[in-house]
Amino acid sequence: MSFLRFLGGRPADQSSAGVADRPASLTEETEAIRRIVTRLESLPPEQARLLAGLAYILARAAYADLDISEAETTVMESELAAIGVDSSQAVLVVEMAKLQEKTTGDTSDYLATREFRDRSTPEQRLNVLRACYRVCCADESISGAESATLNEIASELGLTREEAATIRAEFAQWISARMGFGTVNESLG
């Protein structure tokens, strides 16, 4: 299975893409995308699947509130760059993952997360949950819907409650349910 097909597919017949009918600038852009895809497809299959899984899970976290903001997109791209994906590849992979999440989300969420769990190390699973929290707090708060999705992701990754709680505590200041209520002592005093 090609990398592009894993994230959402491409026309089986490349001539059906209509590239010849497009303006030169779009043709040049398409060629640039093809070069990026070629580099992505040259990755070892296991590495490509992990990258695709990571991007999909990040998009899932970002789309928990049914919107993926520019800030969340930027963080997703940064997360991929942090593991060595060049910026043009990161943009393409993130855009494909976002499109895939928006179009097939609920039906693929569990399967994609479970596949990542099965192919990743415990450290990688902890890191992906931490990255999901960074994506969700990109717009300076983690909503109730995002928090619920993060809990689902942690569970589907096979993390213990303690592991998930430790990571959640790192981002406690951005959890919107806690915002504006002060501390218990302030409320009672």
What value does the mean pLDDT take over residues 132-145? Answer: 95
Check residue 176 and report its DSSP letter.
G
Quick one: tokens of 126?
């902890």
What value does the mean pLDDT take over residues 105-112? Answer: 84
Q: Which residue has the higher pLDDT, 139 or 15?
A: 139
Phi, psi (degrees; rounded to nearest 5) at 23: -65, 160
44-87 per-position pLDDT tens digit: 888 888 898 999 999 999 999 999 999 999 999 999 999 999 89
**Residue 33 pLDDT:** 64
Instruction: Identify the band that residue 13 occupies on the pLDDT scale cut at 50, 70 and 90.
Output: very low
**Residue 49 pLDDT:** 87
Taking 80 as the threshold, does the pLDDT of residue 20 lie above it?
A: no
Alpha-carbon gap, residue 12 to 9, rounded angstroms: 8
Q: Which residue has the higher pLDDT, 138 or 34?
A: 138
Q: Which residue has the higher pLDDT, 123 or 35?
A: 123
Write down the residue that tokens 């497809």 correspond to: 41
